[in-house]
Amino acid sequence: MSKSSKENLLGGARGPLALTGVGLFSPAGRGLPALQKALDLRRSCLSTLERVGLSGSADRGGLVPEESIPPPPATAYARGGLTSRMASLAVAAALDAVGAAELKSGRVAIHLGTALGAIEGLEKFVRATPGGLVGLEGGGAHFSHAQLAREVLELLEISARGVSWGRPRVFSVTCVSTLCALEQAAADLAFDRAEAAIVVGLDALSRFMASGFRALGALSPTGRLLPFDEEHDGILLGEGAAAYVVETLAGARGRGVSPLAVLPSQRLLSDANHLTSPDPAGRGMAAAVRGALEDAGLAASEVGGVTLTAVGSSVYDPMLERALGDGLGPEEALRVPVSSWEAATGHLLAATGAVGPVHGAGVLGRGQLPALWGGGRPDPGCALSLARGAPLSLRSPSLLALTVGFGGQNGAALLAGLDLANRWAVPDDVAASAGGGPDPAHPVPIHGVAVLEGAGDLQASQFPGRWNPRRSIPADIEPAATATARALEAAGWWRPHTGALVPGGLVVAVEGATLAPAVRFARDLEDRPGALRGPSDFLFSLPSTAAAVLGLLFGLPTSQATVVGGPEVALDALRHALDLLALRRVERVVLVTLSVTPDRRAATAWCLAPLDSASPEKHDPSAPGRRRAEIACGFSRARGSSTMPPPGDSSVALLERAARWIARGGSQSPESLEGEVADGWIQLRTKGL
């Protein structure tokens, strides 16, 4: 066993995270046992998709049985609002996890990961209200991620009154969304903002989602799911909601709760290879695997097993095999047992990143991986030790759960049984006293900043990365690209025609995430069922596509997060960025805010890093946009009432004002700037710097 640095563990200096409860709604029904039973019996939960309006012969997927979903509390209706099915699913999964964790009180954070969580409600609205979408072309706020978060919080507050719930943040990075949510949950625990945190992944199998994946050529044209098979021709989709409770291992033991597993480490890396596809050589995933093992100090030979997602794809199957060979070494990659739950359920979109730990806890409890089935002609070129047709025992009580997402997103989470937990445990007094202290944890130097309103002025030819220089930058994203270019240049982190000079993370706050193509799609359904104007319509409805485009343009991201929803979105993204830096999850972060509404497009970009990892170039404070300033942010309400604030002044607007204040440069008067939004604040200062 190699030695790990405790600081690289997910819980920071407070030790590994303990997973103390899980909840799951999958096509197999309610609960992890339902999924395990389906896998044990090799019972496919895939079905036709008439329920969501798809009736083609290849239209098959996994739908959560309606009878398994508990109704929302009657008091939710009494508040006068319709509760969306996905909010109900998310809350039901969260409450099952809370119940299993015996969590009855305390400060509890909750973070959601979803790609298009609200889209299903939009489609239902169209079916129920012909012509009712007039006026929604601009963005469909009623079906936004912000509304989903609002409903989730309302339901939680009604259903679990003893708990002081934090405001849900929504992360949207396609199928790895919940890995970003886990990063935020880990930071909240590391900084003692919460005593426990719930990570929820959810997505619905909607017509728009299925049509988009089909337009991208990702779905099996034969309606079959054939993992690592000679005839594999694509994935099949499913839907679901998965939730798990994490807390520090010391905290769980202090409550007298026996954890199901520990989560010592996770790495999420974007290889910025393509808008949808990963590096075919699997270098990004291999680096994520190596990083997760290094953080935990675990040797490849000690990995007990591996679970995979997006299986059956002729893109991902070979990529994952190569990544395991590279990440674990060719010998260990052939020995370690590998499987997936997707033969039973299909690919559960953003829920899948949460199913990894949820299913993984069950795998560790049983000591074996479920059988992988689907086809009868195993790919002779695949040399992995797949649990083909029969379960395989774990080599040790540890499991790597690999998750992939559009934009070359590669996630590797390491879970371990309690037998191994003491390898990472820290003394209780250290766990109790460690952490980043109260907010603001660490004011962070700003190395470059830019603000832009209206159209940008970039030429695609300035970018030597993977963006096609003959392609225009999409109009909705151009302000963000232009602001990012200016901020990066000011920081000395990037130059036109040269490319990225330094690696870094990318955090994008999207306000008013335009669901316009989805709204248009839904309107078209009234006249032309199943119409989708092309894959771009789908891709550019995903909030995370802005970050994916920036990654391709600038070649930047080593990790990537997109935060969406609500007036606090920029504050949440800033907090996430500062937490990533404070916990040394990345060395540098480019924070981008993007506001896209029918009337206005604007963006800010911020290059943030501690001084010791700022730039490989000599710092030049006279460079345009480069000002010696620091930024901090915090939340005014760490506990107590958690009622979602009404939409008001936007935190994106606040950051725009702040960026202008810095960009004015010269002698600052006053020497600091503070601003507040609904439940948080930011502060910038130049004094003494």
Partner 1 sequence: MSDQLRTRIKEMLVRQLKLQVTPAEIDDAAPLFGEGLGLDSIDVLEVVASIEKEFGVSIQSQEEGERILTSVNGIAEFVERKGQPA
Binding site for partner 1 (CB under 8 A): 215-217, 274-277, 459-461, 468-472, 474, 532-536, 539
- Considering the complex, state which of residue 126 and residue 275 has its C-beta at the smaller distance from partner 1: 275
Smallest gap, in angstroms, from Cβ of residue 625 to partner 1?
A: 26
Instruction: Name the strand (E) or helix (H) holding 487.
Output: helix 478-491
Smallest gap, in angstroms, from Cβ of residue 466 to partner 1?
A: 9
| Greatest distance between any 2 Cα atoms in the chain | 73
Q: Are strands 237-238 and 60-62 parallel, antiparallel or unpaired?
A: parallel
- Considering the complex, state which of residue 351 and residue 549 has its C-beta at the smaller distance from partner 1: 549
- Considering the complex, state which of residue 497 and residue 618 has its C-beta at the smaller distance from partner 1: 497
- Considering the complex, state which of residue 470 and residue 618 has its C-beta at the smaller distance from partner 1: 470
Tokens 């894959």 correspond to what residue? 535
Smallest gap, in angstroms, from Cβ of residue 470 to partner 1?
A: 5
Smallest gap, in angstroms, from Cβ of residue 638 to partner 1?
A: 44
Alpha-carbon distance of 488 to 448, in angstroms, equals: 6
Q: What is the DSSP letter of 378?
A: B
Q: Which of 169, 370, 357 is nearest to 264 (CA)?
A: 357
- Considering the complex, state which of residue 141 and residue 460 has its C-beta at the smaller distance from partner 1: 460
- Considering the complex, state which of residue 471 and residue 639 has its C-beta at the smaller distance from partner 1: 471
Smallest gap, in angstroms, from Cβ of residue 450 to partner 1?
A: 23
Smallest gap, in angstroms, from Cβ of residue 237 to partner 1?
A: 17
Tokens 């960025």 correspond to what residue? 577
Alpha-carbon distance of 469 to 459, in angstroms, equals: 8
Smallest gap, in angstroms, from Cβ of residue 215 to partner 1?
A: 6
- Considering the complex, state which of residue 129 and residue 468 has its C-beta at the smaller distance from partner 1: 468
Alpha-carbon distance of 12 to 442, in angstroms, equals: 15
- Considering the complex, state which of residue 305 and residue 535 has its C-beta at the smaller distance from partner 1: 535
Q: Which of 350, 408, 449 is nearest to 548 (CA)?
A: 408
Tokens 């990702």 correspond to what residue? 218
- Strand runs labelled E in 114-151: none
Smallest gap, in angstroms, from Cβ of residue 270 to partner 1?
A: 17
Query: Which pair of tokens denotes residue 305?
Result: 């097993």
The backbone torsions φ and ψ at residue 179, rounded to the nearest 5 degrees and listed phi first, read -70, -35
- Considering the complex, state which of residue 459 and residue 643 has its C-beta at the smaller distance from partner 1: 459
| Cα dihedral: 178, 184, 190, 191 (round 10) | -160
The backbone torsions φ and ψ at residue 231, rounded to the nearest 5 degrees and listed phi first, read -105, 15
Alpha-carbon distance of 491 to 91, in angstroms, equals: 43
Alpha-carbon distance of 498 to 508, in angstroms, equals: 23
- Strand runs labelled E in 231-372: 237-238, 240-248, 261-270, 305-307, 337-339, 368-369
Q: Which of 159, 164, 119 is nearest to 142 (CA)?
A: 119
The backbone torsions φ and ψ at residue 528, rounded to the nearest 5 degrees and listed phi first, read -130, 85
Residues 6+ apart with CB under 8 A from 294: 2, 4, 8
Smallest gap, in angstroms, from Cβ of residue 528 to partner 1?
A: 11
Tokens 């905290």 correspond to what residue? 251
- Considering the complex, state which of residue 13 and residue 460 has its C-beta at the smaller distance from partner 1: 460
Smallest gap, in angstroms, from Cβ of residue 473 to partner 1?
A: 9
Tokens 């130059």 correspond to what residue? 495
- Considering the complex, state which of residue 151 and residue 537 has its C-beta at the smaller distance from partner 1: 537
Smallest gap, in angstroms, from Cβ of residue 535 to partner 1?
A: 5
Asked if residue 518 lies in contact with residue 531, where contact means CB atoms within 8 angstroms, the answer is no
